[in-house]
Amino acid sequence: MSDSHIYDPIKPFDPHGPHADFSFSRLPLGEDRQRVAIIGTGIAGLSAAWMLKDRYDLTVFEKTAKPGGHSHSFNAGTEDAPLWIDMGFIVFNRPCYPNLVALFDHLGVENEASDMSFGVSV
C-alpha cells in the first residue's frame, strides 16, 4: 500500500485529497451497496454518515430522541426576534481541530475567533 493512502491525523483532512476518494464518489445506479451501521448522531456519527452517504446504504442509530450528541441550539432571543446560539463543543479552535476545520470550510460553516481562557480560584 502506498503512503498516499495512509491517513495522517496530524495533517488537516483534505476532502479532495488522495484518501478522500471514497467520500464524494457515487456508485452507478443499480449497483449493490454494502450496508453500514452508524452508531450515534454526534459530530463523529453525523460526519461519518455524510461522508459515506453516496457509497453505502446507511442505517443511523441514536439512543436519544434528538440527534447531535451533546451539541444543541437554543433561542437566546424572542419568538419575534430569534437569536439562535449553537452549543455543545467543549472547545473549538483551528490549530487543534484541523479535520473539523476542513469539514466546516468544505460545508461553508462560518466561525469566529473567541477568547478561550479560563480561570480557577482556590
Residue 95 domain-assigned (yes or no): yes
Residue 31: what pLDDT? 65
Query: Residue 20's domain spans which residues?
Result: 3-107
Do the domain assignments include residue 23? yes
Residue 121 lies in a domain: no
103 DSSP assignment: H
Question: Band of the pLDDT at 26, cuts 50, 70, 90?
Answer: low
Closest CA to 55 of 80, 79, 25: 25
Please tell me the predicted confidence (pLDDT) of residue 3: 44
pLDDT digits (tens, 9 = 90+) for 40-98: 888 889 889 988 988 898 999 988 877 888 887 889 999 999 998 877 766 777 888 88
| Residue 118 lies inside a defined structural domain of this protein | no
The number of domains in the chain is: 1
Is 119 domain-assigned? no
Residue 117 included in any domain: no
User: What's the mean pLDDT when you consider all of the chain?
Assistant: 75
Domain assignment of residue 122, yes or no: no
Residue 112 lies in a domain: no
Chain centroid offset of residue 58 CA:
16
